[in-house]
């Protein structure tokens, strides 16, 4: 059986490990610490830094293919591995577009993919000239941002000056008054096979994904198909191997691409129960160049699957509440990542896989109730 190595020991690696068990492939993790979410449950763990060429290089030496649960491995390390003959999937040429938002925006614009208007900025004058004095405007860190960290909505030149004071490379973007946010998740194998999951709706609060509804309720078939086609086209043009999540804004004029991720993605956790092939299995199949699995929903047509993230509160005694959540709604699936609860940190998720006739509002209420109960307990639940 081949050996797949995943750099990064977070919950994405932990859930990929579960899929690897099912497939029977050997799975290794390079984790920053033995207490990382995936390191706690994976037998084959190397503790080391994804920023060290020697740590990543010696980890890769024992693997048939190397893949990632985050996009933070420096480009120089990726290219050094490739030069040494390691199969790095996705490769450095594709991953670059997840590490540099400016390069991503420029490349997508070059491909004719609709994106928010953008420009690099390094002074308040640049920002003012970009927005022509019309606020708000969005400033983003060119690299290193995640979960909304590194995204600032500025309502004035003085807000922009504060952000510029961080002294990091920034780009400005038009503020998009979107109707809602969507995500198109696709997989691509080195042989060029592609597969697309149903387009989902994502709900962000303070830049953090809170809820995913699959498929996106009421999305016109034409828009869903064009989002899937755009995601498959981007995967092929950028040479992505593995999963590609394309985060989108739905506006009154159509869809705009916001962001790309080339790994299992929060918008795809619903697939564990809600699709014939989970995104984690699909990623493994793609990086191993196996035929891809079916992306069809597991539930009957017309049903919805809802996923709600479980964010850490001040009380970490989650297990204490399992009994109530499971008794109240036996169809709710609880996933806990073994992470210490810290306020706002993603520590788990719950999924309500839709049954025929379920209406989406009821499924959303059930998922939210379970997540909120787990987080706060009965006394504080909403
Ligand atoms: P991150 O890489 O940190 O997840 P994103 O670029 O995905 O950052 O932005 C996080 C969230 O901020 C988005 O999900 C969206 O809600 C909001 N956002 C980002 N860009 C814009 C924009 N141009 N206009 C309006 N809202 C935006």
Question: Which of 2-16, 101-115, 258-272, 316-330 is predicted least confidently?
Answer: 316-330
Tell me the average pLDDT across 116-120: 97
91 Cβ neighbours under 8 A, 6+ residues apart: 78, 82, 239, 241
Q: Is the pLDDT of residue 358 over 70?
A: no
Nearest atom (ligand 1) to Cα of 149: 3
Two structure tokens written together for 97: 């577009």
Q: Which residue, by CA, sits nearest to atom 2 of ligand 1?
A: 146
Q: How confident is the model at residue 356 (pLDDT cuts 50, 70, 90)?
A: low
Q: Is the pLDDT of residue 187 over 60?
A: yes
d(CA 248, CA 23): 32
What is the model's pLDDT at position 357? 57
Domain 180-376 falls in which CATH fold? D-amino Acid Aminotransferase; Chain A, domain 1 (3.30.470)
What is the model's pLDDT at position 350? 97
Quick: pLDDT tens for 142-186.
998 777 789 999 999 999 999 999 999 999 999 999 999 999 999
Quick: pLDDT tens for 71-113.
999 999 999 999 999 999 999 999 999 999 999 999 999 999 9
In this structure, how many other beta carbons lie within 10 angstroms of the beta carbon of residue 271?
29
Q: How confident is the model at residue 379 (pLDDT cuts 50, 70, 90)?
A: very low
The share of the chain scoring above pLDDT 90, in percent, equals: 86
CATH code for 117-174? 3.30.1490.20
As beta bridge partners, residue 139 has: 152, 172
323 Cβ neighbours under 8 A, 6+ residues apart: none
What is the model's pLDDT at position 54? 98
Q: Is the pLDDT of residue 238 over 90?
A: yes
- Mutating to test ligand 1, I would choose from 115, 150, 207, 261 the residue with most ligand atoms within 8 A of its C-beta, which is 207
The mean predicted confidence, pLDDT, of the chain is: 94
- Residue 116 Cβ contacting ligand 1 at under 6 Å: yes
Tell me the average pLDDT across 37-59: 98
Domain borders along the chain are 3-88, 117-174, 180-376
C-alpha pair distances (Å), 53 with each of 61, 79, 90:
12, 10, 18
Two structure tokens written together for 64: 């048939």
Two structure tokens written together for 199: 């387009």
Nearest atom (ligand 1) to Cα of 145: 3
d(CA 115, CA 174): 10
- Residue 204 Cβ contacting ligand 1 at under 6 Å: yes
Tell me the average pLDDT across 250-274: 97
- Mutating to test ligand 1, I would choose from 104, 168, 208, 258 the residue with most ligand atoms within 8 A of its C-beta, which is 258
CA dihedral 325, 330, 333, 337 (to 10 degrees): 40
What is the model's pLDDT at position 377? 56
Going by C-alpha positions, the residue among 3, 73, 11 that lies closest to residue 284 is 3
Quick: pLDDT tens for 300-323.
888 899 999 999 887 768 898 999
Report how far ligand 1's centroid is from the alpha carbon of 260 (Å): 11
d(CA 202, CA 92): 28
- Residue 80 Cβ contacting ligand 1 at under 6 Å: no
Alpha-helical regions (H) of the chain: 11-23, 53-61, 75-83, 92-99, 101-110, 124-131, 157-164, 221-238, 271-274, 279-287, 319-328, 360-376
- In this structure, CATH architecture of domain 3-88: 3-Layer(aba) Sandwich (3.40)
Do residues 351 and 367 make contact, with C-beta atoms less than 8 angstroms apart? Answer: yes
Bridge-based pairing of strands 3-7 and 26-31 is parallel
Two structure tokens written together for 106: 């420029």
What is the model's pLDDT at position 275? 97
Angle of helix 92-99 relative to helix 75-83, nearest 10 degrees?
Answer: 180
d(CA 24, CA 15): 14
């Amino acid at each position: 059986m081949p050996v797949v190595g995943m750099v990064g020991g977070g919950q994405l690696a932990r859930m990929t490990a579960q899929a690897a068990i099912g497939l029977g492939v050997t799975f290794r993790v390079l984790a920053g610490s033995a207490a990382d979410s995936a390191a706690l449950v994976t037998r084959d763990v190397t503790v080391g830094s994804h920023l060290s060429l020697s740590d990543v290089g010696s980890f890769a030496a024992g693997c048939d293919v190397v893949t990632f649960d985050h996009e933070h491995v420096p480009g120089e390390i990726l290219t050094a591995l490739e030069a040494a003959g390691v199969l790095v999937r996705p490769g450095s040429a594709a991953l670059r577009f997840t590490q540099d938002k400016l390069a991503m925006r420029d490349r997508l614009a070059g491909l004719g993919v609709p994106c928010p208007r953008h420009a690099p900025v390094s002074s308040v004058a640049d920002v003012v000239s970009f927005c022509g004095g019309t606020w708000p405007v969005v400033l983003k860190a060119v690299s290193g941002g995640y979960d909304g960290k590194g995204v600032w909505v500025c309502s004035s030149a003085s807000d922009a000056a504060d952000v510029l004071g961080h002294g990091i490379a920034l780009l400005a973007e038009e503020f998009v008054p979107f109707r809602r946010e969507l995500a198109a998740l696709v997989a691509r194998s080195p042989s060029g096979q592609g597969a697309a999951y149903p387009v989902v709706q994502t709900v962000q609060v303070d830049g953090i994904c809170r809820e995913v509804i699959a498929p996106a309720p009421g999305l016109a078939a034409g828009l869903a198909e064009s989002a899937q086609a755009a995601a498959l086209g981007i995967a092929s043009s950028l040479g992505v191997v593995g999963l590609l999540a394309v985060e989108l804004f739905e506006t009154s004029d159509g869809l705009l691409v916001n962001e790309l991720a080339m790994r299992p993605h929060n918008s795809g956790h619903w697939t564990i129960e809600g699709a014939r092939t989970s995104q984690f299995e699909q990623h493994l199949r793609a990086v191993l160049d196996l035929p891809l699995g079916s992306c069809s929903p597991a539930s009957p047509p017309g049903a919805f699957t809802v996923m709600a993230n479980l964010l850490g509160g001040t009380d970490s005694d989650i297990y204490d509440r399992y009994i109530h959540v499971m008794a109240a709604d036996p169809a709710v699936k609880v996933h806990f990542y073994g992470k210490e609860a810290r306020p706002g940190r993603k520590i788990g998720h719950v999924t309500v896989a839709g049954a025929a006739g379920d209406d989406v509002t009821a499924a959303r209420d059930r998922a939210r109730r379970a997540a909120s109960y787990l987080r706060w307990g009965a006394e504080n639940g909403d």
